[in-house]
Every structure is written in C-alpha cells, then in structure tokens.
Chain A
Amino acid sequence: MHVSLHHYLFVSFMLFSLGLLGVIMRRNLLVIYMSLELMLNAANLALVSFSRFNNKLDGQVLVFFIITVAAAEVAVGLALIVALFRKRQSAHVEDLTSMKL
C-alpha cells in the first residue's frame, strides 16, 4: 500500500497519545517534561506532513517557530524544576502538593 497522509497522521496520533499517557501516568517531573516534548514533536510531524501533502510551505515555517519556542520553553521549565528541587529536594509530583486544597 502506498504511504499517504493518513499513515503519517496515524504515527503523529500515536506519538501524541504516548506523550499524553506519559504526562498523566508518570510521577517524575523530568519524565513528564520529556513526554511533553513528545507531544510537541507529534504536532510537528502532523504539520510537516500536512504541508507536504497540501503543497504549501507555511506549515514548515510554523514547525520552525515551534521548535524555537520549544527550546525556550525547555530552558525556562528546567530552570523552574531546578529551583523547585533546591527548595524541596524532590522532583516527584507526589511530594509537590502544597497547592492542593
């Protein structure tokens, strides 16, 4: 069978679901953050395949911006995690419940 847009979108969907499951089920803050990256990458894959099969380059420009924003986001997020670790000596979500009612 010839590989079409649907195949790429399915891969993207599977990646997104895996990232979502990781965010919900894992307890380590860093692994949760990596799962977030996985979800971002899934969106990138969908955008690139849409751009390819639509014959428009705008999707690829958007992916370029997304990668830049993701890099900035990772830097800020990891700095936050380090600051949190310094205060609490833990990077597990179950130890970080001071905002729970």
Chain B
Amino acid sequence: MEAINNLISGGVVQDIMFYVFAALTLLCAILVVANPFSRSPVTSAMFLVLTIISMSGLFLLLHAFFLAAVQILVYAGAVMVLFLFVIMLLDLKEEQRRKIKFFGLAAGLVSVSIVAGIFIKSLASIKLTAEPALEGETYVLGKLLFTQYTLPFEIISILLLVAMVGVILLSKKKLE
C-alpha cells in the first residue's frame, strides 16, 4: 500500500498521463492536417475537437483547472460548433488529391526548420530550477483578473462586441 502511495505522489502516474495525452494530442493534430483516409473538412473538424479535448487533459496535468474547463467549453463547445455549422452551410465538395507542389513542400519544410531553430536556441537558454507549486484555481485566477488585469478585461469585452457587430454586418444578405 505504501509503495502504491509513493508511486502516485512521486508523479509516475502523472508522467504516464502526460505521455498518453501528448501522444493523443499529436496524433489527432496529424489527422487534422493530413488525414490519409479522408479529405473532407468534417473529419478534420472532428479530429480538431479530439485534439482540443486531449490538450485540456494536458492543462489539467499543469494544474490549470480553470483553463482546462474553458478550453473544452469555448473551443470544443462554441468554436467547433461554429466551424461545423459553416461546413454544413457551405456544402463543400471534397478536396481533390492534387500533386503536392514542390514549392509548397519546400516552403513548409524551410519554415518548420526555422521554427525548430528558434525552439532549440530558446531551450538552451532556459534556466528554471524552481519546483512548480502553482495552482491555477478559479479563485486565484479570478482575483488576478479583476484586480491587476481589469483594463484588458474590459477591452476584451469591447472587442467581443465589435466582433459581434462585424459578423452581423458581414453576413447580411446584401453585401455592397
């Protein structure tokens, strides 16, 4: 019994969970971008939902409980429903398999290798030794949001209003 307790508090279970969620996230992300079985955007959207859900598992492992909930509510709930709605509305034809252009492939590989360079360079300069002791609880986060970050919070609400008005204007029947 004590051995099991040590195992759990030692974080072995959490490490395993990390690998499971990370593998799920990456696998689903690959299936969003390059699905060998289907080219329809609906499949991509469904796998994006799975990616987001497994990412919220990663957030849980990072003790960001509020953000994990928001991730599922806003992304998997609202944003993806919007995506699916538009896909159904547009009645898209299947994307045809076309030859991958050499230029596109080269541009993709170059940009990814540039990002990889930045990544490796920044990893080398990380000096974090502190043991993580942070809890991303709703109470703490809300307190921070309404004291230190009140102005950005209000600006965000204005942004949402502007986006709402803009969307209504854009989707009016007559677009002149």
Q: Which residues of A contact B (CB under 8 A)?
A: 1-3, 5-9, 11, 13-22, 24-28, 30-31, 33-35, 37-38, 41, 44-45, 48-49, 51-58, 60-61, 63-65, 67-76, 78-83, 85-87, 91-92
Contacts and interface: CB of A to CB of B under 8 A. Distances in A.
Interface on chain A toward B: helix, strand, loop, or mixed SS? helix
A38 B62 contact: no
| Residues of B in contact with A, size category | 35 or more
Interface in B76-106: 78-79, 82-83, 86-87, 89-90, 92, 95, 98, 100, 104-105
Interface of B: 11, 14-15, 18-19, 22, 25-26, 29-30, 32-34, 39, 41, 44-45, 48, 51-52, 55, 58-59, 62-64, 66-67, 70-71, 74-75, 78-79, 82-83, 86-87, 89-90, 92, 95, 98, 100, 104-105, 107-108, 111-112, 115-116, 119, 123, 126, 128, 130, 132-134, 136, 140-141, 144-145, 149, 152, 156, 159-160, 162-164, 166-167, 170-171, 175
A57 B79 contact: no
A20 B152 CA distance: 29
Contact of A30 (B25, B34, B86, B108): B86
A72 to B, nearest CB: 4
A2 B15 contact: yes
Contacts of A73: 163
Given A7-B22, A8-B58, A52-B132, 4 more contacts: A8-B62, A11-B25, A15-B29, A22-B33
Nearest to B26: A14
**Interface residues of B, dominant DSSP:** helix
Given A64-B70, A75-B163, A26 B132 contact: no
A72 B11 CA distance: 38
B63 A52 contact: yes
A74 B78 CA distance: 10
B152 A65 contact: yes
B90 A85 contact: yes
A3 B15 contact: yes
Nearest to A41: B55
Contact of B92 (A9, A17, A30): A30
A57 B141 contact: yes
